[in-house]
Structure 1
Amino acid sequence: MNDEQMAEIMPLIMYGGEAKSSAIEAIQAAKLGDFEKADERLDAANQAIVSAHHGQTNLLTQAASGEAVSVSIYMVHAQDHLMTGIAFVDLAREIIELYKVIKKY
């Protein structure tokens, strides 16, 4: 793995973790009834996912153009972080909607 590929992989880890953390913060805010903050944190989580996707797209483009992209433990870890972040954001959206219904009653 070269330095350029590592520079693409590390943001996947960082942004995937950021998305997960922001999604958890959104759920916690909704639990307290602060839906404005929940939406703000959910927006931050979505931005982190978009940023991570840019790096992932670059790696996919490299592979598609025939450039060797090695699959290392770092790559697996990065993909795991991204997928976990996406799952948390999706679940956070649903949980926040449930809190909105609960807080109405």
Structure 2
Amino acid sequence: MSANQEELMQTIMGLIMHGGDAKGNAMEAIQAAKEKDFEAAEESLKLADEALTRAHNSQTGLLTSEASGDSVELSLLMVHGQDHLMNAITFKDLAVEIVELYKTR
């Protein structure tokens, strides 16, 4: 595996890993809100945001490479990584709303 391929693989794995972390943190926020522990819920949402930032940084690296003329080969793993990121963003956004709903009960 070339250095470029290894770097690409690390970037894609970053998308998957950080996206998964963000989704897990969002789920923890919902569970904490369900238990009326809103401080823990907010902390979990903050952790989800931090994980999403790391995932976005990985994605930005891919976009920057492509924009500078270094074509990035599309692979199933790349699609999987992007899918993880998009699902994590959606899940976190919904978790924010669910936490707010629990606060009003």
Shorter-chain TM-score tier: over 0.9
Q: Which residue of 1 aligns with 2:36?
A: 33
Using the size of structure 1 for normalisation, the TM-score is: 0.95
**TM-fit CA distance, 1:20:** 0.4
For 2:23, the aligned partner's letter is K
Task: Structure 1: state its 5+ residue gaps.
Answer: none
Using the size of structure 2 for normalisation, the TM-score is: 0.95
Q: Which residue of 2 aligns with 1:6?
A: 9
Q: Which residue of 2 aligns with 1:63?
A: 66
Within the candidate set 55, 74, 92, 2:77 is matched to: 74
SS of the residue 1:2 aligns to: helix
**TM-fit CA distance, 1:35:** 0.1
Question: Number of aligned pairs?
Answer: 102
**TM-fit CA distance, 1:3:** 1.1
For 2:86, the aligned partner's letter is M
Determine the C-alpha separation between the residues in 2 that align with 1:70 and 1:5: 9
Q: Which runs of 4+ in 1 moved over 2 A?
A: none
**TM-fit CA distance, 1:68:** 1.4
Within the candidate set 51, 54, 57, 2:57 is matched to: 54
Task: Structure 2: state its 5+ residue gaps.
Answer: none
Q: CA RMSD in A?
A: 0.9
